[in-house]
Structure 1
Amino acid sequence: MRVRRSRGRDPLGLRRALSDRLLPALVAAMALLAALTLAGARGAADLAARWEGGAATALTVQMPHGARTDGAIRVLVAMPEIAEARLADQARLAALLRPWLGEAPAIPLPTVIELRLASLPDDPEELAARIAASVPGASVEAHGVWVARLLALARSLQAIALAALLLVAGIATAVVAVAVRAGIAARREAIALLHALGATDGDIAGRFAGRVAWLVGLGALLGTLAAAPVLAGFADLAAPLLGGRAAAGLPWGRLPWAELAVLPPAAALIGWLTAQVTLRLWLRRLP
């Protein structure tokens, strides 16, 4: 015997057994947390990539005012770790120092050579010491020490975000399992009767799984939509850190839409699988 799946029919009474309010609301809250977690992981990854490719591979060499730089630049470019060496623009340097030294500094500004490294060095301090030894009178400012710490922090945040995402998925699975067990308890007699009349485990489990997948997917969609404006606000605040500028309105284009789009179907799949496993295990115990 097969349970007919005609539209409008509900032989197991699942509309009453599986509420269309409580379960979607709980899943929506968890989807909101999952969306925030995903965006946090994406933001930490973008920051790490920017720092690793930007400030982490930048050094500045400061030389006394009026020092000859041709020979120093030749020596620096010949080093295998250095991809580019160029003189810093004096006008830009004066503009940076204007808040402290005023329009007409009383002391001559030093000559600054900006270096771009080929890759992030394993030991920035050791490289800075070799550069200082190769260019007499030079003072090297290595940004790699504090940037390496920021990279470690960003990668730790990524790991924490992924762990939090797994935790949310585990909690969602447990919530769905409890909801399915509550539905089984509410419709125990109807399920047992249909099973005794010859309804297959696949048919009964499919009915439950379809209802649960719909409710969970709907809740995840609502939670994801609720998270979108919050994430847009955070993206606007984080734009300067990622090399952009704050937008006039909410920067919808900066949201991780690909990751967010995966949440509702992924949640529906988790609900479907959890319902299938929970119900089939219960049906095996029936005579």
Structure 2
Amino acid sequence: MLRPMTPIVPPLNVSGRALMVVIAIMSFLCAITLGAVTMVQEKAEAWQGDVSREITIQIKPTGNIDIEATLVEVRNLALSFQGTLTAQIVDRSSTARLLEPWLGEGFDMDELPVPRLVIVTIDETAPPDFTSMREALAESVPQASLDDHRAWADRLISMARITVFVGVGILALMFATTMLTVIFATRGAMAGNRHIVEVLHFVGAETSFIAAEFQKRFLMIGLKGAAVGGGVATLAFLLLSAWQSNSLATAVNDQVTALFGRFALSSAGYFGIIGIVVLIAGMTAFTTRLTVVRTIREIDRQRADPSLAEIG
């Protein structure tokens, strides 16, 4: 009766479980970082698109002006310029809602000099002459000021790009840390099974065969750990998205959405997490193979020069 062949690399032991946990943690951090970078990049693109489509005209309620009539006058003046598509007055209730996070609910707008806004949508390909519009507003409505958001948007886009750059750097460091962890874990497995590897190698087992055995074992460890880490990160994004959806029309949610956007990942973000799982699993297997091959070469050098074995 044939006895089952004992695997070169033993089944999952304490060190293998520890490696799987480490890979799961690193995969989780990589996936969270990638998701955050993706959302920042998408939010920056959305901000840039909004800025290129809209400008804001602010009217300060100074003096004894009729603010409602002035808003209508400003809207009509903006629509008179070529390149202006629409102009919408932000009504009192919407203005009060914008101020609720700072002033609370139920405050009287008439007691405060709250500026009123006109949101103007422009043609991105042929925008109006902003200089002429400012001059016309200064002549007709001195209390009005035009803001095309360009300076603010440029700083915001620059900050988003720096954030993306830092996120990519953190991802690179995490991948490097994961690779070093796999190298040390593989060397530990090799040290525990070195006598088996030496016997197999000396009786004629090819280096590729031995490396493949270790590679298969560590590929499964890397795949399981990365899948757990990526799955937990995906669950975290889904829970954040669900919380945000269930807390709509609240002051906290409005401010969080305004600052960070929606926590829901796009399809690119989820594909990125899948890519991280595959990449870390493949990197684990590839790094394992290189480490095993290098270790066997060291065995060959020690066999050729016994003094190296004594030093080791």
TM-score in terms of structure 1 length:
0.75
* 3-state secondary structure, aligned to 1:15: coil
Q: How does 1:43-62 map to 2 (within 5 A)?
A: 43-55=39-51, 57-62=53-58
Which amino acid is 1:258 matched to? F
C-alpha separation in 1, matches of 2:205 and 2:26: 34
Q: Find 1:133's aligned residue among 128, 132, 135.
A: 135
Shift of residue 213, structure 1, vs aligned partner: 0.7
Shift of residue 242, structure 1, vs aligned partner: 5.5
Instruction: Tell me if the contact between 1:85 and 1:113 (Cα under 8 Å) persists in the aligned partners.
Output: no
Matched, 1:170 2:172: no
Residue-pair matches, total: 264
C-alpha separation in 2, matches of 1:252 and 1:87: 31
Q: Alignment RMSD, CA only? A: 3.9
Other-structure match for 1:259 = 272
Which amino acid is 1:133 matched to? E
Matched, 1:95 2:93: yes
Q: Find 2:290's aligned residue among 254, 274, 277.
A: 277
C-alpha separation in 1, matches of 2:47 and 2:80: 27
Instruction: Tell me if the contact between 1:209 and 1:272 (Cα under 8 Å) persists in the aligned partners.
Output: yes
Q: Deviations over 1:212-248 (max 9, x none)?
A: 11101111111222223322233346665668xx99x
Shift of residue 282, structure 1, vs aligned partner: 2.1
- Unpaired runs of 5+ residues, structure 1, are 1-6, 122-126
C-alpha separation in 2, matches of 1:143 and 1:237: 31
Shift of residue 133, structure 1, vs aligned partner: 2.1
* 3-state secondary structure, aligned to 1:116: strand
C-alpha separation in 2, matches of 1:197 and 1:226: 45
- Unpaired runs of 5+ residues, structure 2, are 60-64, 97-105, 246-253, 305-312
**Larger fraction in helix:** 2
Instruction: Tell me if the contact between 1:14 and 1:208 (Cα under 8 Å) persists in the aligned partners.
Output: no
Other-structure match for 1:27 = 23
* 3-state secondary structure, aligned to 2:147: strand
Other-structure match for 1:218 = 224
Which amino acid is 1:51 matched to? W
C-alpha separation in 1, matches of 2:194 and 2:257: 56
C-alpha separation in 1, matches of 2:25 and 2:146: 51
Which amino acid is 2:292 matched to? L
* 3-state secondary structure, aligned to 2:91: helix
TM-score in terms of structure 2 length:
0.69
Other-structure match for 2:87 = 86
* 3-state secondary structure, aligned to 1:270: helix
Shift of residue 265, structure 1, vs aligned partner: 1.9
